[in-house]
Amino acid sequence: MKQTFLLLTAAVALVVASCGKTPQPPVAEKIPYVVESNGNERVDNYFWMRLSDEQKNAETPDSQTVKVLAYLNAENDFAKAAMKHTVKFQQELFEEIKGRIKEDDETVPYFDNGYFYHTKYFEGKEYPVLYRRKDGTETAEVMLDVNILAEGHDYTGVGGASVSPDNNLMAYGVDHVSRRQYTIYIKDLNTGELLSDTIVNATGQSVWAEDNKTLFYVKKDPETLRAAVVMKHKLGTPASEDQVVFDETDETFSVYLGKTKSKQYITVTSNQTLTTEVRLIEAANPDGEVMTFAPRMVGHEYSLDHLNGVFYIRTNANGAKNFKLMSCPENRTGMAAWKEVIPHRDDVLFENYEIFDSYLVADERIQGLTNLRIISLGDGSEHFLDFGEETYTAGISVNPNGNTTLLRYSYSSLTTPSSTYDYDMAARTKTLLKQDSVLGGFDKNNYESKRLWATATDGTQIPVSLVYRKGFTQDGTAPLLLYAYGSYGSSTDPYFRSSIVSLLDRGFVYAIAHIRGGSEMGRQWYEDGKLLKKINTFTDFNDCARFLINEKYTSAEHLYAMGGSAGGLLMGAIVNMEPELYNGIIAAVPFVDVVSTMLDASIPLTTFEWDEWGDPRKQEYYDYMLLYSPYDQVKEQEYPNMLVTTGYWDSQVQYWEPAKWVAKLRDMKTDDNILFMDVNMTAGHGGASGRFERLKTVALEYAFILDLEGLKE
């Protein structure tokens, strides 16, 4: 890259003045900056909006920081002015959505190593309280009250709570910035006091060795935020003396830790889009050798677990695109010793599994729907759980113990609130332990869900899940919100969202397009929506939109689309391609400056995403990515009404991507439709950290599309 301008110290030209009663949007200054790559040049007029972490964290802001903050605050001021007439409605929606949530609530306890663990929320509190109860006693003890940790902070994220094998200590990570850089603390659960041991700039995840004094964790690269170095900490010693256990030097990989179900091995997994490598540390010998389970091979993805002297390996080796399950004895882990347990199938995606002493549970996706298959390790007999709905999602829940016949699983659908079950695999009986309460008079019998199939331009059948309130008339007049993600092989399952009821009760249809780029229809579904086939993701979505219009579930005048992060990229691409299909777009924390970000290895997430999007340093990928990159493809045309959200501290999609995109859209679009950006100045990728505070963004999003429909209450 080369800079072609001198940073101006003058304030950015912003116009937020009113013309009559109509607020005017800010006008961002254009300062040309040339982005170079392999002889290719692109001019970025808004590159000046980018700030480094050093600039953002400086006690005294420099002139560029002042300028950028002025622009972002002007965007927020404009958004507030533009939506001022909906403030009362937003508050009503917030209270309505919040009112469906049982404030005094708790999770179903699970048993592990002599204790029952559960999480509880209290009325009026934003954050959970972590509890445990010793087996044989009646009184639960507080392990961690996140509400106390959050006092005095705009943002609080807690992750990776890990209890030592002797049940006396708990390690946990805290992030008060929303950059996913955690500080790890260690608490004495007997006294409630914090130990002096403190570890900074970590992932938040940590794993105990069996000696109860050795803790493994992963440090992050301070610039790229890549989880790269596994460290070993001995209690009572300074973190500066911690030893490097494994350094993942390949910048396209990141590292995470785990522990096998047998608790005999700590796993160190190096992972990128196409390749995995697992190392093992004996939990009883934390200073021993770090062993490689199966050396990395490009294209080989695997994960493992261990119980009763046997390793189980989910792998795509030898052409098993949809994955298969293999096993081997713990003293012979080479691939030559692997034996097939569940074979590969072309029409079934083997997604996950759980092992018990006498049973194996396979989580499989068949024709887009999740299925749980129970297999007896004794006689090989098997059966499926019956869920009884047309469209739903189910999955394996928390099952830390192998010596049981009970499987804990979760279930939900577009009409059924999240439910937790225990299933007795021997007796074949299930027990509903809890179904989330939905207050405010919700009755699932008032709603209907369907699963439809849209035909893509190339003839591919795309599943669409949708839900509406009974009494809906299919005549093309109903408003419809269409959601999708479509990247990283992540499947968007039709689970229950209590907030959506606020739309359904006002006549909306809610739909999910299970487009290529996810894994709903198997691994090939993912392969057909990435790299040099990525455009399928966007055309699939537009084809689903057209299908819903043709089938008279809605019309272009009443169709709204929503997606976040990589789904925000989807939003940017579809409106560049076919803006006339939509009346409104919600793009949440959108990844829209694809080429520039993938060219810059210093930006968090870039290096290990080249296998997802392509490496634009190679001309073939550069040219292809330019074809769909939303920021690069903005053109002089009419665009739908648009709401864009971002977080100033976002570590996943930097705030400047949506900020630049909005500025360019304003400069080039030829319509008078609404376009505004809401910038959360105290949060990152996931928005506000409190369970109620984040609902204010949902209320804003809903007020935006409801207002466009002329609905004021």
- Look up 650 and say whether it is catalytic: yes
Question: Distance from CA of residue 270 to its chain's centroid?
Answer: 19
Rounded (5°) CA angle 655-658-662:
135
Q: 401: which DSSP letter?
A: -
The overall longest dimension of the chain from CA atoms, in Å, is 79
The pairing of strands 348-355 and 194-208 is: unpaired
- Write down the catalytic residue from 502, 565, 629, 651: 565
Query: What pLDDT is stored for residue 225 in this prediction?
Result: 85
Is 50 exceeded by the pLDDT of residue 320? yes
Tell whether the model's pLDDT for residue 12 goes beyond 70: no
**Each residue of 82-141: pLDDT tens digit?**
999 999 999 999 999 999 999 999 999 999 999 999 999 999 998 999 999 999 999 999
- Whether 409 shows a pLDDT value over 80: the answer reads yes
Q: What is the mean pLDDT of residues 15-31?
A: 69
Question: Which range is least confidently modeled, 58-67, 173-182, 256-265, 272-281?
Answer: 173-182
When mean pLDDT is compared across 538-547, 584-593, 650-659, the lowest value belongs to: 650-659
Question: pLDDT tens across 441-456, in order?
Answer: 999 999 999 999 999 9
Q: What is the mean pLDDT of residues 215-244?
A: 93
pLDDT over threshold 90, residue 38 = no
Catalytic residue chosen out of the listed positions 650, 678, 689, 707:
650
pLDDT in tens, 556-588: 999 999 999 999 999 999 999 999 999 999 999
What is the dihedral sign for C-alpha 691, 696, 701, 707? Answer: positive
Between 185 and 391, the more confident residue is: 185
Cα-based distances in Å from 17 to 14, 25, 328, 520, 662: 9, 8, 70, 48, 19
Of 176, 306, 514, 685, the active-site residue reads 685
What confidence tier does 22 reach under pLDDT thresholds 50, 70, 90?
Answer: low
Output the pLDDT for position 15: 37
The CA distance from 300 to 274, in Å, is 7
How high is the pLDDT of residue 604? 66
The residue-averaged pLDDT of 183-191 equals 96
- Per-residue pLDDT tens over the stretch 677-708: 999 988 777 766 778 888 999 999 999 999 99
Average pLDDT, the chain: 92
How confident is the model at residue 586, as a pLDDT?
A: 98
Closest CA to 666 of 15, 32, 65: 15
pLDDT of residue 71: 96
Whether 649 shows a pLDDT value over 90: the answer reads no
The burial class, CB within 10 Å (0-12 / 13-18 / 19+), for 581 is: buried
Q: Is 9 exposed, middle or buried (0-12, 13-18, 19+ CB in 10 A)?
A: exposed
Does residue 514 carry a catalytic annotation? no
Question: How does pLDDT run across 256-305, given as a tens digit for each residue?
Answer: 999 999 999 999 999 988 899 999 999 999 999 999 999 999 999 999 99
Helices (H) and strands (E) in the chain, counts: 14, 40
Q: Average the pLDDT over 227-241 and give the result.
A: 95
Of 21-30, 396-405, 487-496, least confident by mean pLDDT is: 21-30
Q: In what order do the strands lie in the sheet with 182-188?
A: 157-163, 169-175, 182-188, 194-208, 214-220, 227-234, 243-247
* pLDDT tens digits along 325-371: 999 999 899 999 999 999 999 999 999 999 999 999 999 999 889 99
Kindly state the percentage of the chain with pLDDT values over 90: 84
pLDDT band at residue 1 using 50, 70 and 90 as cut-offs = very low
Q: H or E stretch including 704?
A: helix 695-708
Please tell me the predicted confidence (pLDDT) of residue 10: 31
Q: Higher-confidence residue: 45 or 607? A: 45
Per residue in 131-160, pLDDT (tens digit) is 999 999 999 999 999 999 999 998 899 988
pLDDT at 53: 84
Q: Give the pLDDT confidence score for residue 391 in this predicted structure.
A: 85
Model pLDDT, residue 19: 37
Q: What is the pTM of this model?
A: 0.91
Spatial separation of the C-alpha atoms in residues 326 and 337, rounded to whole Å: 10
- C-alpha 265/C-alpha 260 separation (Å) is 6
pLDDT for residue 17: 34
pLDDT band at 16 (very low <50, low <70, confident <90, very high): very low
Give the pLDDT confidence score for residue 7 in this predicted structure. 31
Question: 3-state secondary structure string, 170-229?
Answer: EEEEEECCCCCCEEEEEEECCCCCEEEEEEEEEEEEEEECCCCCEEEEEEECCCCCCEEE
